[in-house]
Structure 1
Amino acid sequence: MTLGIQDAIRFWTLTWLLHHIESASVDVAQGSPYPSPRIVILGGTGVGKSSLANVLLGRDKGYEDPQRRGCFTAGSGIDPITTSTCPEVGTWLSSNWPVTVVDTPGFGDDITNERKVIDELVDVLKNDIRFVHSFVIAFNGESPRMTSSLKSMIRLFEKMFGTEFWKNVILEVTRWSYDERSMSNRESREETEATWTKEWNNKFHSLFDIPANLDLNAVFIDSFYDPKSSREQLQFGTYTSTLWNFTVNVKPFECKDIKIALTELMEAQEAIASLKNELIKAKDGSDDMCVFWSVCFNPAQFGGFGGVMMIMGALLGGGSLLTFQNLCCSSENQSSKIHIEIQSDDDDDDANEPTNLDDYDEDDFRVVYN
C-alpha cells in the first residue's frame, strides 16, 4: 500500500520537526555524567522494554550489550534477559540531541529476586540519576486485561515514587503494529489508539491515586516497525516525537524521596511469615503453667517449682502433725495411764449394796496413776 500526497507531506513534515525541534529541558544536575532529558522505562517482563530503549537510542532493536551488564539486550523467549537497572547515555534516535535512557528489569517474573531488583532501582535513581523527566510504563498491546500482577506492579511504583510521579508518567503500548493485518484486526474489534487511551485512563483512575484532572498520555511506538513501509515509518515518527515533546517539557521528578517498597506478594509473604512466628510462639507457650494469675512457668520450670513445693509441703505437714499430736493427742496418752477405782464393801448384805453410780459417796472413789 502506498501513501497519498497528503500522507507523504505529513511524514516529511514530522520528520523535519523531529530533527529540528529545540529541546526545552534543563540539565537539572550540572556536571552529571547523565545528560538531560532522562527517561526511565518500566514494565513487566517480556513487554519489550529493552527493545524500545535501544531503538530510542538509535540502535537496532536486537542490539546486545557488549558489557553484558544484564540490560539493553532484548530477549526472544519468556525468560527475562534484563536483570539490572542500567542508565545509558546516547543520542535521541541517532540525532545530535543527548539523552539518558534507563533500562530496568521486569517485575513479576521471580519473587525471590524482586527485592534485589527494587533495591537496585531505588539506589540507581536516587544516587545516580537523581532527576527523571519521564517514566515510560510499557504495556503489551496484545494483552488488554488489567491483570493482578500488573496492578501490583503499578501500586509498587506508587509506593516507591509517591503519587506526584504520575505527572511524569506516559504510557507506551508495545506490540501495536501498523502492518495491514494488525490494523485490520484492530478495526474489526473497533479498537483505536483513542479508545485504548480512554479505556486505560478510566482503569487507572479507578484503581490508583491519580489526580482527577490528569489524563495520562499514551504513545504507540512499534520497535519492530518496517522501515520500508512509509505508513509504519510515519507512525513511528509521530509517537517518538510525542514522547520527546512530553519528556522535554515536563517538570523533572526529583528522586531524593523515593523509597524501597514491597510488592503486594512480598507483603503477603512477610505477613504469613509473621503469623507463623506468632503461632510458633503461641504453641511454645501453650504448655506454660501459671500461678497466682501472673507468674508463669514452662514445664521444666514448673517441675522444679513443684519439687520445691513438695519438699516444703512435707516439712510443713510433718511439723503440723507433731504439733497436732502434742496439742490434741496428749490427753489420750495420759488417759491410758489413769484409771478410777470404786470402793465397795465385802459383806454379804447385798440388799444394801448401791446399784447406781449416784448411790456412791465421794469416799468410795479413788484415782490411781500407773
Structure 2
Amino acid sequence: MSSALTGFLPYPIVQAPMAGGGSVPQLAAAVSEAGGLGFLAAGYKTADGMYQEIKQLRGLTSRPFGVNLFMPQPDHADPAAVGVYAHQLAGEAAWYETELGDPDSGRDDGYDAKLAVLLDNPVPAVSFHFGVPTPEALQALRRAGTLTLVTATTVDEALAVERAGADAVIVQGVEAGGHQGTHRDLSETDGCGIGVLSLVAQVREAVALPIVAAGGIMRGSQIAAVLAAGASAAQLGTAFLATPESGAPAVHKEALTNPLFVRTELTRAFSGRPARGLVNRFLREHGPYAPAAYPDVHHLTAPLRKAAAKAGDAQGMALWAGQGHRMARELPAGQLVEVLAGELAAARTALSENPAQGGAL
C-alpha cells in the first residue's frame, strides 16, 4: 500500500466527491473522522462557495480530507443540436412550470479561481475530473503540501496522468455512478467502458502511480478485490449517498433501493456527458436524443432538475447511481466506514486462509 496515498488513512476507503449536493461537509467530516478520506465536491459551486464549505469542514474535523475540481471543457458542442434538444425539452419546462436554462452559462466551472483558493488555503488532497491539470498546477499544489489525484477511465488516460506529475490516479470503471471522468468526450465510445477490476489490473501494469479504484464498490469484499488487483485504496460514492449525512434529496436516497428502479444506464440526457443513473422516465424519453454537449446540456436542464427535486418527482431527476445501488445501506457514514473496514478485514483473512478462493472476492 502506498504511504504517499494512504499513510494518513487508517482505512483505504475514499468517499467519492458527488457534485450536485451529495458531498456536503457533514458527510466528508463523518467519513474522515471514522478513518476514511472524505471529499468535498467543488463542481458547480463558486470559488467562494467552495471556500465556505472548506471552512465548515475544518470546523467539523481535524482529519485529512479532499476537494474535487472539474477541469474546464473545450467548446465542441453543436449549437444547432443543443437548440433541437431544447425544443424537445419544451414540454418538460411546461410540465414543471419553469424555464430552460441558458446553455451558454460557462465552460470552465470557475476552475482558475478555485485553484487559486486551494493554493492560498491548502487542503490535504485535491482530485480532478474530466481531464488532466497542467504539470505546473500539480507542482504548485505539491509545493503547498497537497496530494493530487486525477481520474482516468483508460490505460492511455492513466499514462497521461502519470506524465503530468500527479501523485495518484483514480481508476474509474464503467460501473461507477455519476459522470464518467473521461479526458475527452467521444460519442463513439459511449457504453464501451472497462470494468473496474480489469481496468485496475491493466493500469497497474502500465503506470507506477498509486491507484484508487472506483466503480460500483459497495462492500468490503469488493474493496479487498480491487486491492488484490493492485489498487492502494477504493473510492465509493453510491455507498455513501444513502447515509443520513449525505446532502442528496430524500427521494434520490429512497430510489436507490426502490424496486421501481431496477437498473442503471449511461446517459447524456441530463448533462450532455455520459453519466450513470437510475433509469427513469426522463432518461428513457430524452437519453436517445441528447447531444454530446457538456456543460451546455447541464445548464439547459438545471431548472428542470431543480423543479423535479422540489416536487419530489424521481421520474424527472438525475438519479446518479452506480451499478451496485441495490446494495446501499442506510447507515450513518462513520458507521458505514467501520462496517466496510470490518468486511475488508474478514475478506482478507478468508483470502489468506484460502488462497484458492481469491477469485471469489
Q: Which has the higher contact order (CA 8 A, sep 6+)?
A: 2
- TM-score bin (small chain): under 0.3
- Per the normalisation by structure 2, the TM-score is 0.27
- Per the normalisation by structure 1, the TM-score is 0.26
